[in-house]
Chain A
Amino acid sequence: MSLDKNDVRRVAFLARIRVEEDDLQPVAEDLNNIIAWVEQLSEVDTDGVQPLTSVEAMAMPKREDKVTDGGDPDRVLGNAPDRVGDFYAVPKVVD
Chain B
Amino acid sequence: MSYIVQGDTGDWEVVIGLEVHAQVASKAKLFSGSPTAFGAEPNSQVSLVDAAMPGMLPVINAYCVEQAVKTGLGLNAQINKISVFERKNYFYADLPQGYQISQYLHPVVGEGIVTVDLADGTTRDIGIERLHMEQDAGKSMHDQDPKRSMIDLNRAGVCLMEIVTKPDIRSPEEAGAFVRKLRSILRYLGTCDGNMEQGSMRADVNVSVRKVGETEYRTRAEIKNVNSVRFIMQAIEIEAERQIEVHESGGEVVQETRLMDPNKGETRSMRAKEFAHDYRYFPDPDLLPLELTDDFIEGIRATLPELPDAKKQRFMDDMGLSAKDATTLVADRESAEYFEAVAAKHDAKKAANWVTNDLFGALNKAGLTIAESPISADHMAKLLTLMDDGTISGKIAKDVFEIMWETSDDPEKIVEDKGLKQITDTGAIEAAVDEIIAANPGQADEVRGGNDKAIGWFVGQVMKATQGKANPQQVNQLLRDKLKG
CA distance A89 to B148 in the complex (A): 6
- Comparing A18-26, A34-42, A63-71, the segment that makes contact with chain B is A63-71
B59 proximity list for chain A (CB < 8 A): 61-63
**Once the chains bind, are B42 and A70 in contact (CB under 8 Å)?**
no
**B100 interface residue per 8 A CB criterion:** no
B41 proximity list for chain A (CB < 8 A): 73, 86
- Comparing B149-157, B244-252, B367-375, the segment that makes contact with chain A is B149-157
> Who on chain A is nearest to B279 by CB?
A14
**Once the chains bind, are B150 and A73 in contact (CB under 8 Å)?**
no
> Who on chain B is nearest to A85 by CB?
B42
**A59 interface residue per 8 A CB criterion:** yes
**A58 interface residue per 8 A CB criterion:** yes
- Which of A59, A73, A88 is the most central at the interface, judged by chain B CB atoms within 10 Å of its CB? A88
Q: How far is the CB of B40 from chain A (nearest CB, A)?
A: 8
**Once the chains bind, are B280 and A14 in contact (CB under 8 Å)?**
yes
CA distance A76 to B96 in the complex (A): 12
A76 proximity list for chain B (CB < 8 A): 43, 46-48, 51, 153
CA distance A84 to B141 in the complex (A): 12
Asked whether A89 and B34 contact (CB < 8 A) given A54-B288, A73-B46, the answer is: no
Q: How far is the CB of A80 from chain B (nearest CB, A)?
A: 9
Q: How far is the CB of B482 from chain A (nearest CB, A)?
A: 74
**B270 interface residue per 8 A CB criterion:** yes
- A65: contacting residue among B63, B146, B149, B280, CB under 8 A: B63
A92 proximity list for chain B (CB < 8 A): 142, 145-149
Q: How far is the CB of B57 from chain A (nearest CB, A)?
A: 10
> Who on chain A is nearest to B274 by CB?
A13
Asked whether A14 and B62 contact (CB < 8 A) given A67-B34, A73-B46, A94-B142, the answer is: no
> Who on chain A is nearest to B33 by CB?
A68
**Once the chains bind, are B150 and A69 in contact (CB under 8 Å)?**
no
**B290 interface residue per 8 A CB criterion:** yes
**Once the chains bind, are A93 and B291 in contact (CB under 8 Å)?**
no
CA distance A53 to B51 in the complex (A): 26
Asked whether A64 and B63 contact (CB < 8 A) given A70-B34, A84-B150, A88-B151, the answer is: yes
**Once the chains bind, are A62 and B46 in contact (CB under 8 Å)?**
no
Give per-residue flags for A44-68: 1 if the beta carbon is below 8 A from chain B beta carbons, else 0. Answer: 0000000001100011111111111
Tally of B interface residues using CB under 8 Å: 52
A72 proximity list for chain B (CB < 8 A): 44
**Once the chains bind, are A67 and B33 in contact (CB under 8 Å)?**
yes
**Once the chains bind, are A63 and B60 in contact (CB under 8 Å)?**
yes
**Once the chains bind, are B288 and A89 in contact (CB under 8 Å)?**
no
**Once the chains bind, are B150 and A58 in contact (CB under 8 Å)?**
no
**Once the chains bind, are A93 and B149 in contact (CB under 8 Å)?**
yes
- B145: contacting residue among A60, A68, A75, A89, CB under 8 A: A89
CA distance A95 to B268 in the complex (A): 12
**Once the chains bind, are A90 and B32 in contact (CB under 8 Å)?**
no
- Comparing B71-79, B86-94, B181-189, B332-340, the segment that makes contact with chain A is B86-94
> Who on chain B is nearest to A77 by CB?
B43
**B287 interface residue per 8 A CB criterion:** yes
- Which of A10, A65, A67, A71 is the most central at the interface, judged by chain B CB atoms within 10 Å of its CB? A65
**Once the chains bind, are B149 and A63 in contact (CB under 8 Å)?**
no
**Once the chains bind, are A87 and B150 in contact (CB under 8 Å)?**
yes
**Once the chains bind, are A62 and B149 in contact (CB under 8 Å)?**
no
CA distance A65 to B288 in the complex (A): 19
**Once the chains bind, are A62 and B280 in contact (CB under 8 Å)?**
no
**Once the chains bind, are B140 and A93 in contact (CB under 8 Å)?**
yes
A64 proximity list for chain B (CB < 8 A): 61-63
**B397 interface residue per 8 A CB criterion:** no
**A30 interface residue per 8 A CB criterion:** no
Q: How far is the CB of B239 from chain A (nearest CB, A)?
A: 18
B51 proximity list for chain A (CB < 8 A): 76
Give per-residue flags for B329-354: 1 if the beta carbon is below 8 A from chain A beta carbons, else 0. Answer: 00000000000000000000000000
Provide 26 A-B residue pairs closer than 8 Å at the C-beta atoms, listed in order of the A residue.
A10-B275, A10-B278, A14-B89, A16-B91, A60-B60, A60-B289, A62-B60, A62-B62, A63-B59, A63-B60, A63-B62, A64-B61, A64-B63, A65-B26, A65-B27, A65-B28, A66-B27, A69-B33, A70-B33, A76-B153, A86-B43, A88-B150, A90-B149, A91-B148, A92-B148, A93-B92
- Residues of chain B at the chain A interface (Cβ within 8 Å): 26-28, 32-35, 41-49, 51, 59-65, 89, 91-93, 140-142, 144-153, 270-271, 275, 278, 280, 283, 287-291
The 3 closest A-B pairs by CB, nearest first: A68-B33, A65-B63, A70-B34
